[in-house]
Amino acid sequence: MAISSDIIQKLLCLLRPLMQSESQRKGYLMRSLGMNTLEFIKILCPPLGIPIEMGKRWLETAQKQK
């Protein structure tokens, strides 16, 4: 399943009132879409101007919290 970066941005904005932390929103979105994968990080990070290495660390942190 392919999700455009525009849709990801819209979903992140929708979560803003529920979660103050950007990392919480991204983690929740990844888990809820069942996309706790490196491929999702590669889709999510570049449009946001986030280095993929940082995204990999977020993924590792999210996986440790399970």
Q: Which amino acid is at 54?
A: M
Range of the domain at 13: 5-64
- Alpha-helical (H) ranges within 1-66 are 5-15, 22-32, 38-48, 52-64
pTM: 0.48
Q: pLDDT (tens digit, 9 = 90+) per residue, 46-62?
A: 777 888 888 888 778 87
Number of domains forming the structure of the chain: 1
Residue 5: pLDDT over 70: yes
